[in-house]
């Protein structure tokens, strides 16, 4: 038990270090954007008719604490970020945590749902594909999963929208009906969201499914050829029982390990799909922050939070793997 | 003994064996690659697309930029070459010209109408807009054109630009972006992964920590963040190079990790020790002994990472943060397709998509085939 606790603590520390490095990268990027908050505020005042001078900008910088050294500002940003406070966006002049709020959790749940969908499809199909010697089935699956890799998600979204507009006359955009958009959370709103969310979940899950299918199939066909499977089938275990209890359990480890990167891949697609389907969630907020206004505070916050959720998932899968896999568990406790 | 060699079967067997044992690495890979049908088909598709990309200017009848626009045929439907119509058949393909008309009958709006009675024949190797073949040889001949007016195989877009010409140029742009991105990512990966894998120890741990941290950041949001900093007033060509560089600068971690893993396994081999004992410097050992030992793996990695560069560029341009108009790329061409107008009325905007799916699929299949071919144990698996 002590060994296990130590393992969890080490992994948590590694996750923290990763986050600190990421925050340094993100914060440096935010700093690289031409123009800082002081200039932005005063430029806004300038448009309101009051004249400004260089001294004014300097004074504003001191007021906002922008004159402090880089490392000091980074440290305070990082500490605040861990508390969930990303400060204000200079362009929108709103608190970022408020602005993101539900939207971030909403997009995170959509992404997690598509990850779930991907594996719900990929696990059974991948195992069947690996077990069967049907070349036609295997080639079709290979082609479909390559198509999943080759066809960017936004194209899939566009094509689905094209079909739905041409044949059903419905554009399928948005995450809520007009009726519920600004309403407080309720069961009705939740159901309404589910009736809209299946499309982004499906589109985001599409390429993740393709990747997962490849992984599952490759791992399973590696394991199926091994001697312990032959031994088990010689003892009379066969069919589904053989597949699930022997090779599938061995293949599970690497699959759990790759979950974090699958989430990463889904996040990659999120902003673009969100833009096409005009969902008001973190992804399209990111595009707005970057493309329309160069809002570095908001962009930095979103990238940091996305990365933080990947790091958290990686940490969780590491621990889960140690719990599930006796080989990993033994190697820790020893 | 001598009687046996006269037997033709054993003789050819012997020759095949000899050829197998004396074949170079490249010949072996090629022999295994040839056996895979899907990879070979993909390779031919890829070569076809590559050629049409290289000769884009020659193959396209009109300038893909605003200069080549057909101002009388905006959002025009594709015109397919025909051999037969109501007035009989001809060996030479032709199209029916479109005429614009505005009168009382059309409520004084411009209306385009296909004139079924008139034929405009295709001409081959006509003179057209000036371009430079391979960027060097000035030319003005094109593969085809029509006797008068314009022909648009894939239709035109909202400003009257020929979608067929744009698609060909876009393929070329994507290949360039992919190549520049892959080369930059590759050089970075070689340096970083090389140092990490060769020295090992704490340097390796430190570099791996940073690589892993960079790898966890979702790439497209990061691309977007960096691409947004490019000043809007920079020219399209400058943007093109900067975007390709950004793609490379963010794409290195995965490659670097693979280089490191290869190096870690290879550096403990005897031939490395031998070189070190002979007094070879670390740089020399990495370059002359370690890198050649897994060149084939590196080539495969490059081919596999190529489509991701192309897709990232497409995504970036699509949301308006990547390439800009005079430069053609799929993302640029697709910028306007989200509007309901295009979705409902102008579906030919989607024709280039087919080419890009083909391009990316071809790369994925070739990469996959190469990976199997480069693995010396792939035969024994099957």
Within this chain, do residues B150 and B185 fall inside the same structural domain, yes or no? no
Q: Which tens digit of pLDDT belongs to each residue from B116-147?
A: 777 777 777 777 767 776 666 777 777 777 76
Domain end, chosen from B87, B120, B154, is at B154
Residue B287 falls within a domain, yes or no? yes
Within this chain, do residues B140 and B177 fall inside the same structural domain, yes or no? no
Contact B103, B93 (CB under 8 A): no
Contact A209, A118 (CB under 8 A): yes
What does pLDDT average to over chain A? 76
Q: Which tens digit of pLDDT belongs to each residue from B184-241?
A: 888 888 888 888 877 777 888 888 888 888 888 887 777 777 777 777 777 777 878 8
Q: Which tens digit of pLDDT belongs to each residue from A308-325?
A: 888 888 888 888 888 877
Question: Rg of chain A's alpha carbons, rounded to an integer?
Answer: 25
Within this chain, do residues B144 and B194 fall inside the same structural domain, yes or no? no
Residue B305 falls within a domain, yes or no? yes
Q: How far apart are CA B272 and CA B286, in angstroms?
A: 9
Q: Which residues of B touch A154 (CB under 8 A)?
A: 315, 318
Selected residue of B219, B223, B228, B362 to mutate for chain A interface (largest A Cβ count, 10 A)? B228
Residue B149: both structure tokens together: 């007016």
Q: Which tens digit of pLDDT belongs to each residue from B7-25?
A: 555 677 777 777 767 777 6
Q: How far apart are CA B172 and CA B177, in angstroms?
A: 9
Within this chain, do residues B319 and B345 fall inside the same structural domain, yes or no? yes
Q: List the single residue in A with minimal CA-CA distance to B225.
A: A290
Question: Phi/psi class of residue B280: alpha, beta or left (left: φ > 0; alpha: ψ in -120 to 50)?
Answer: beta
Instruction: Count how many Cα atoms sit within 13 Å of the Cα of residue B347 in the half-sphere of its side chain.
Output: 9
Residue B118 falls within a domain, yes or no? yes
Query: Which among B349, B328, B334 has a CA at the least distance from the CA of B175?
Result: B328
Within this chain, do residues B190 and B87 fall inside the same structural domain, yes or no? no
Residue B3 falls within a domain, yes or no? no
CATH number at residue B308: 1.10.3720.10
B91 touches chain A (CB under 8 A): no
Shortest alpha-carbon distance between residue A294 and chain B (Å): 7
Within this chain, do residues B221 and B136 fall inside the same structural domain, yes or no? no
Within this chain, do residues B327 and B217 fall inside the same structural domain, yes or no? yes
Shortest alpha-carbon distance between residue B319 and chain A (Å): 7
Contact A288, A304 (CB under 8 A): no
CA A321 to chain centre: 20
**How many residues are there in chain A?**
334
| CB-based contact B343 A302, cutoff 8 Å | no
Based on the structure, what is the number of domains in chain B?
A: 2
Shortest alpha-carbon distance between residue B133 and chain A (Å): 30
Name residue B113's beta-bridge partners. B99
Within this chain, do residues B139 and B172 fall inside the same structural domain, yes or no? no
Q: How far apart are CA B165 and CA A241, in angstroms?
A: 57
Residue B26 falls within a domain, yes or no? no
Within this chain, do residues B131 and B170 fall inside the same structural domain, yes or no? no
Query: Which among A140, A142, A123, A143 has a CA at the least distance from the CA of A251?
Result: A123
Within this chain, do residues B238 and B373 fall inside the same structural domain, yes or no? yes
| CB-based contact B218 A33, cutoff 8 Å | no
Q: Which tens digit of pLDDT belongs to each residue from A125-134?
A: 888 887 777 7
Per-residue pLDDT for B334 more than 70? yes
Selected residue of B207, B219, B225 to mutate for chain A interface (largest A Cβ count, 10 A)? B225
Selected residue of B46, B221, B334 to mutate for chain A interface (largest A Cβ count, 10 A)? B221
Within this chain, do residues B227 and B133 fall inside the same structural domain, yes or no? no
Q: List the single residue in B with minimal CA-CA distance to A172.
A: B340
Domain end, chosen from B154, B181, B211, is at B154
C-beta neighbour count of B78 within 10 angstroms: 15
Q: Domains in chain A, start-ordered, CATH in brackets? A: 2-98 (no CATH), 103-333 (1.10.3720.10)
Q: Which tens digit of pLDDT belongs to each residue from A90-124?
A: 666 677 777 777 777 878 888 888 888 888 888 88
Q: Are strands A88-89 and B127-133 parallel, antiparallel or unpaired?
A: unpaired
Residue B40 falls within a domain, yes or no? no
Contact B113, B97 (CB under 8 A): no
B340 touches chain A (CB under 8 A): yes
Residue B34 falls within a domain, yes or no? no
Domain range for B363: 165-381
C-beta neighbour count of A290 within 10 angstroms: 28
pLDDT band at B340 (very low <50, low <70, confident <90, very high): low
Mean pLDDT of A160-178: 65
Domain end, chosen from B126, B154, B182, is at B154
Contact B164, B349 (CB under 8 A): no
Q: Which of B210, B229, B365 sits opposite A146 (nearest CB)?
A: B365
CA distances from B297 to B1, B42, B291, B369, B370 (A): 42, 19, 10, 12, 9
Residue B77 falls within a domain, yes or no? yes
| CB-based contact B216 A302, cutoff 8 Å | no
Within this chain, do residues B78 and B192 fall inside the same structural domain, yes or no? no
Shortest alpha-carbon distance between residue A186 and chain B (Å): 32
């Amino acid at each position: 038990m002590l060994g296990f606790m130590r393992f969890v603590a080490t992994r948590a520390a590694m996750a923290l270090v990763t986050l600190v490095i990421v925050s340094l990268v993100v914060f440096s990027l935010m700093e690289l954007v031409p123009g800082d908050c002081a200039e932005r505020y005063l430029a806004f005042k300038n448009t309101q008719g009051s004249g400004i001078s260089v001294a004014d900008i300097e004074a504003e910088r001191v007021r906002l604490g922008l004159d402090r050294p880089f490392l000091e500002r980074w440290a305070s940003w990082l500490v605040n970020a861990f508390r969930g406070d990303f400060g204000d966006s200079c362009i929108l002049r709103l608190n970022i945590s408020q602005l993101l709020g539900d939207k971030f959790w909403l997009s995170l749940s959509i992404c997690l749902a598509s990850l779930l969908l991907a594996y719900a499809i990929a696990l059974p199909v991948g195992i069947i594909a690996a077990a069967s010697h049907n070349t036609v089935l295997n080639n079709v699956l290979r082609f479909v999963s390559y198509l999943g890799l080759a066809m960017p998600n936004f194209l899939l979204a566009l094509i689905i929208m094209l079909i739905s507009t041409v044949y059903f006359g419905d554009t399928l955009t948005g995450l809520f009906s007009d009726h519920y958009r600004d309403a407080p959370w309720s069961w009705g709103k939740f159901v309404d969201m589910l009736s809209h969310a299946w499309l982004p979940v499906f589109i985001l899950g599409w390429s993740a499914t393709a990747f997962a299918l490849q992984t599952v199939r490759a791992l399973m066909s590696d394991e199926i050829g091994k001697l312990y499977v032959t031994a088990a089938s010689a003892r009379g275990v066969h069919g589904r029982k053989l597949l699930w209890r022997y090779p599938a359990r061995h293949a599970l480890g690497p699959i759990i390990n790759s979950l974090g990167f699958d989430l990463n891949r889904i996040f990659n697609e999120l902003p673009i799909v969100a833009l096409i389907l005009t969902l008001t969630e973190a992804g399209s907020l990111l595009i707005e922050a970057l493309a329309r206004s160069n809002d570095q505070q908001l962009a930095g916050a979103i990238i940091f939070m996305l990365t933080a959720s990947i790091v958290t998932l990686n940490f969780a899968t590491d621990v889960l793997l140690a719990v599930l896999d006796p080989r990993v568990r033994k190697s820790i406790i020893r | 003994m001598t009687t046996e060699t006269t037997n033709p079967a054993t003789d050819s067997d012997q020759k095949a064996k000899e050829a197998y044992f004396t074949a170079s690495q490249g010949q072996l890979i090629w022999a295994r690659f040839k056996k895979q049908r899907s990879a070979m088909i993909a390779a031919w598709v890829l070569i076809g697309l590559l050629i049409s990309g290289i000769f884009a200017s020659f193959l396209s009848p009109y300038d893909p930029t605003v200069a080549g626009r057909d101002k009388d045929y905006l959002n025009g439907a594709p015109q397919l070459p025909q051999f037969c119509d109501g007035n009989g058949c001809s060996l030479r393909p032709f199209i029916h010209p479109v005429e614009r008309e505005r009168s009382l009958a059309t409520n004084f709006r411009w209306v385009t109408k296909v004139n079924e009675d008139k034929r405009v024949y295709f001409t081959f190797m006509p003179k057209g807009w000036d371009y430079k073949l391979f960027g060097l040889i000035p030319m003005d001949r094109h593969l085809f054109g029509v006797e008068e007016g314009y022909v648009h195989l894939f239709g035109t877009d909202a400003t009257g630009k020929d979608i067929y010409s744009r698609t060909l140029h876009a393929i070329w742009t994507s290949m360039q972006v992919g190549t520049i991105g892959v080369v930059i990512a590759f050089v970075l990966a070689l340096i970083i992964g090389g140092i990490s894998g060769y020295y090992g120890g704490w340097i390796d741990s430190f570099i791996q920590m940073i690589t892993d941290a960079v790898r966890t950041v979702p790439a497209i949001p990061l691309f977007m963040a960096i691409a947004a900093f490019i000043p809007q007033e920079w020219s399209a060509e400058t943007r093109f190079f900067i975007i390709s560089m950004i793609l490379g600068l963010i794409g290195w971690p995965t490659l670097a990790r693979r280089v490191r893993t290869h190096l870690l396994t290879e550096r403990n081999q005897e031939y490395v020790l031998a070189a070190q004992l002979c007094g070879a410097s670390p740089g020399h050992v990495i370059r002359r002994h370690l890198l050649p030992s897994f060149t084939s793996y590196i080539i495969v990695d490059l081919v596999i990472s190529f489509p991701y560069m192309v897709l990232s560029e497409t995504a970036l341009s699509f949301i308006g943060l990547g390439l800009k108009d005079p430069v053609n790329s799929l993302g640029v061409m697709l910028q306007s397709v989200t509007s309901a107008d295009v979705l409902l009325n102008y579906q030919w905007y989607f024709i280039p998509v087919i080419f890009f799916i083909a391009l990316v699929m071809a790369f994925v299949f070739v990469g996959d085939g190469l990976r199997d071919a480069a693995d010396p144990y792939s035969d024994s698996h099957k």
